[in-house]
Structure 1
Amino acid sequence: MAESDTGSDIVTAALLVIGEEILSGRTQDANIVHIAKALDQAGIALREVRVVPDIEDEIVEAVNAMRRRFRYVFTTGGIGPTHDDVTTDAIGRAFDVPVAEDPRAMRVFEERYPGEPVSPGRRRMARIPEGAELVANPISGAPGYMLENVIVMAGIPRIMQVMMEDVLPRLEKGRPVSTRTIRVDAPEGHVAGGLATLQAQHPKVQIGSYPFFEETGVGTYVVLRSADGPLIEAAVSELFALLIREDMPHNDEDEETS
């Protein structure tokens, strides 16, 4: 059962990053931040990010584990024209459905390159698991696709981004999450005890602390997140009271930038 089916208004998602080049360090993944921000703005909570190599068995295992836990699973990478682009075959195995050249995907290439035969590489990218909806790619034409709750996208950042734009309107949305960021000019260790008490008092507000280091000293960013506006405001008020009692200088970063 996916987390969004438990009666909560939170819609959850996971991201599976596919590619040996990520694990080897040859390439830095540029998609995680974009996807996390896009989902956050849509009211979809990204709960897990996993990276696997271009190995079918490992992709199948990861997809099957994640699609049962989360409302949506996004994958990036491995749907190109080369022999090591095995994501589509793995998705077919995960859902136990055949994979074949899709007439809709073939039509995209035929219309994009009129008068040219569809090359073997493009034919490979036109292979889609049975039952999947296509996800548009206006940049190069090669589509992504969505099969049940799994959304398969390219690893190239610009192409992934336009695929996200196409697929997001089709998805179930939860309540958007509000965020407040408070800068505290005190070391994280000085703030930690009070934050633990505050978190226990506000279980529906996610409270995190993140140290920073500057030439003038060290400090802590306290980030509060919740889908319930009044709850987050109550927690922020109590945080301010705590910081005043402990004589810790602080600023509301959201007010500073608003």
Structure 2
Amino acid sequence: MVGQAEAVTAGLLVIGDEILSGRTKDRNIGYIAEYLTAVGIDLAEVRVVPDIEDEIVAALNALRTRYTYVFTTGGIGPTHDDITADAVAKAFDVSIDVDPRARAMLLERIAEADLNEARLRMARIPAGAELVANPVSKAPGFWIGNVIVMAGVPTIMQAMLDEVAPKLRTGVRMLSETVTANAKEGDIGGPLKAVAEIHTDVSIGSYPFMGEDGRPNTNLVLRSRDPARLAAAVAAVRMMVAEVHAARGTVGA
């Protein structure tokens, strides 16, 4: 496939007991997925782990050997259960301490007298890491190896992602097109399989939904890095949908 060699991949590690308990509803996964897709990076895997150091280290080591980049969210605040920085340091087998650069960033927002032990935890950075600026609240994230550590608060995470995006290696952007079938998923499943078996270099997904008229409907989403192959597959899907409707005597897409 055109652009296959240029594919850049990413894993996402979401850290926090509050996500797993349901107390906090994650708002970062979808945002990061769309953001990375737009710049030509494939988000290939997402894991959610609790605030347990060994769990974070194990997941991080698995992901960072598998993908071009690993992004993490959560666990870099001032409280005792914010242990992401320590876990990352352990994964990379480096020391961790208050970083003078990070401390100076905190002082842009916090008075020296208020920079207590809890707040200083947000300045503890693994040795050798590059800081990721935080224009929202100043407490930085960091980048070590291929791992980019960001806050869990959505507005801060988004600002940090904007900071690192220009430095990321990107691939050929994934293109996508949606065909609405105006049919139940079961009605087109067989013919759609036949199309997919011919256009093996295009990803074709089927996503049922309930239409505004209250009837079951299906969106067919096609994805490829090659515009010509995408167009050919889309044409084949549209023809398939038309043939299904003609056979059933119904109105197609």
Question: Is residue 139 from structure 1 mapped to residue 136 from structure 2 by the alignment?
Answer: yes
Q: What's the counterpart of residue 230 of structure 2?
A: 232
3-state secondary structure, aligned to 2:6: coil
Share of identical aligned residues, percent?
52
Alpha carbons 2:108, 2:138 under 8 Å: kept: no
Question: Is residue 64 from structure 1 mapped to residue 61 from structure 2 by the alignment?
Answer: yes
Stretches of 4+ aligned residues off by more than 4 angstroms: none
Deviations 1:42-97 (A, max 9, x none): 10000111100000000000000000001011000000000000101000000000
Alpha carbons 1:18, 1:53 under 8 Å: kept: yes
Question: Is residue 76 from structure 1 mapped to residue 80 from structure 2 by the alignment?
Answer: no
Q: What's the counterpart of residue 196 of structure 2?
A: 199
Measure, in 2, the Cα distance between the counterparts of 1:175 and 1:154: 28
Measure, in 2, the Cα distance between the counterparts of 1:249 and 1:92: 59
Moved more, 174-183 or 190-199: 190-199
Alpha carbons 1:126, 1:143 under 8 Å: kept: yes
Moved more, 102-111 or 29-38: 102-111
Alpha carbons 2:13, 2:48 under 8 Å: kept: yes
TM-score, with length taken from structure 1: 0.91
Give the aligned residue type for 2:219.
Y
Give 1:119's match in structure 2, choosing from 116, 119, 125. 116
Measure, in 2, the Cα distance between the counterparts of 1:184 and 1:238: 13
Measure, in 2, the Cα distance between the counterparts of 1:73 and 1:180: 27
Measure, in 2, the Cα distance between the counterparts of 1:163 and 1:221: 33
Measure, in 2, the Cα distance between the counterparts of 1:69 and 1:36: 17
Measure, in 2, the Cα distance between the counterparts of 1:43 and 1:165: 15
| Aligned residue runs from structure 1 range 1-258, under 5 A | 8-113=5-110, 116=113, 118-214=115-211, 215-247=213-245, 249-251=251-253
| Aligned-CA RMSD value | 1.4
Q: Which 5+ residue runs of structure 1 have no aligned equivalent? A: 1-6, 252-258
Alpha carbons 1:16, 1:52 under 8 Å: kept: yes
3-state secondary structure, aligned to 1:112: coil
Alpha carbons 1:17, 1:50 under 8 Å: kept: yes
3-state secondary structure, aligned to 1:189: helix
Measure, in 2, the Cα distance between the counterparts of 1:21 and 1:93: 23
Q: Which 5+ residue runs of structure 2 have no aligned equivalent? A: none
Give the aligned residue type for 1:218.
P
Measure, in 2, the Cα distance between the counterparts of 1:232 and 1:92: 43
Alpha carbons 2:131, 2:143 under 8 Å: kept: yes
Measure, in 2, the Cα distance between the counterparts of 1:161 and 1:29: 13
